[in-house]
Amino acid sequence: MTNPWDSSPNQPGHEHHTPGMRNPWDNPQDATTPSGKNQPSGLLIGLIALLALAIIAVLAWLFISGRPGDSTVAETVSPDTVTVVVTSQLEAPSTTGRSTVTVTPTRSSIQTTTPTTPQSSARSVERSATPEPPAAVIPPAAQQAGLTATGWIDNSATRCRGNENLIYAGRDSDAWITVCEAGGQMTYRSDIFGGTLTAAVDPARSNPATGKFYVNASPSIIEVVGGGVEVTQGGSVIAQKSFPSAWVLY
């Protein structure tokens, strides 16, 4: 009788396998199969390394070009050119770049200002000037005595000048006096006592509305009061004259 667990004498050392069954401990892959499955992993590592190098190169270019730094711009303008000086300071304290760019603008970009001519300035002054005082209205009796809007017709030394306005006039056969006013200043003119005189009237001691005028003709003091004139010196009267014809035109 043959023991079913005994090995066949014709096949020494050969294990018996049931058809259709596989030994779970058998390696389905032959030991001589090459390790080709590791090739994709090496390619991926190479791509990652290449990408990292590219990123490093871009960052280095940005750092060198100075984009993170601050820029200071100064402009110098001349009639024909505009010079722009750009100072760039990078993040590194010791690195400073400086460049100069010269730009020539077109004529349309240059603004011009028309200077003020002396003629236009003169016109402006004329418009703002104080208007001339109105001419004095001469009464008929004064006209018959030889008085005009500027003074006595028979004595040019006592006539008003320029834009002066006649505010007082008095006379006798051998004496002529006028007081003229312009811009708030009064001027006394006389041809009397053998001589002529032109002097400023002291407004603080005068009252034109009443025909009173005070003139400091040092060392003398001249006072016109209505229809006469009085000259004093050292407190004493040295000359005086009354006018049969006198008019207050203030």
Domain that holds residue 165: 140-248
Q: What does the DSSP 8-state code read for residue 129? A: S
CA-CA distances (angstroms) from residue 64 to 16, 85, 96, 171?
77, 20, 11, 102
Q: Are residues 87 and 181 in the same domain?
A: no
Q: Give a yes or no: residue 201 inside a domain.
A: yes
Give the bridge partners for 242, in sequence order. Answer: 228
pLDDT digits (tens, 9 = 90+) for 21-80: 555 445 545 444 445 555 667 788 888 988 888 899 888 888 887 654 444 444 444 445
Residue found by looking up tokens 């603004």 in the block:
111
Give the bridge partners for 224, in sequence order. Answer: 213, 229
Res 226: pLDDT: 87
Whole-number average pLDDT of the chain = 74
Q: Give a yes or no: residue 64 inside a domain.
A: no
CA distance 87 to 75: 11
Res 46: pLDDT: 84
Domains identified in the chain, total number: 2
Q: Give a yes or no: residue 6 inside a domain.
A: no
Q: Are residues 213 and 151 in the same domain?
A: yes
Residue type, 25: W
> Among candidates 204, 151, 154, which has minimal Cα distance to 179?
151
Q: Give a yes or no: residue 18 inside a domain.
A: no
Res 100: pLDDT: 46
In the predicted model, what is the mean pLDDT of residues 208-225? 97
In the predicted model, what is the mean pLDDT of residues 181-193? 97
Q: Give a yes or no: residue 235 inside a domain.
A: yes
Q: Give a yes or no: residue 223 inside a domain.
A: yes
> Among candidates 248, 108, 76, which has minimal Cα distance to 179?
248
Q: What is the pTM of this model?
A: 0.48
Q: Are residues 241 and 167 in the same domain?
A: yes
Q: Cβ of 248: how many Cβ atoms within 10 Å?
A: 16
Res 115: pLDDT: 52
As to burial, measured by CB atoms within 10 angstroms (0-12 exposed, 13-18 middle, 19+ buried), residue 9 is exposed
CA-CA distances (angstroms) from residue 95 to 62, 73, 101, 112?
14, 17, 20, 41
Express as a percent the part of the chain with pLDDT over 70: 56
In the predicted model, what is the mean pLDDT of residues 166-175? 96
C-beta of residue 189 within 8 angstroms of C-beta of residue 180: yes
Q: Are residues 146 and 238 in the same domain?
A: yes
In terms of pLDDT, which residue wins out, 199 or 95? 199
Q: Are residues 220 and 157 in the same domain?
A: yes
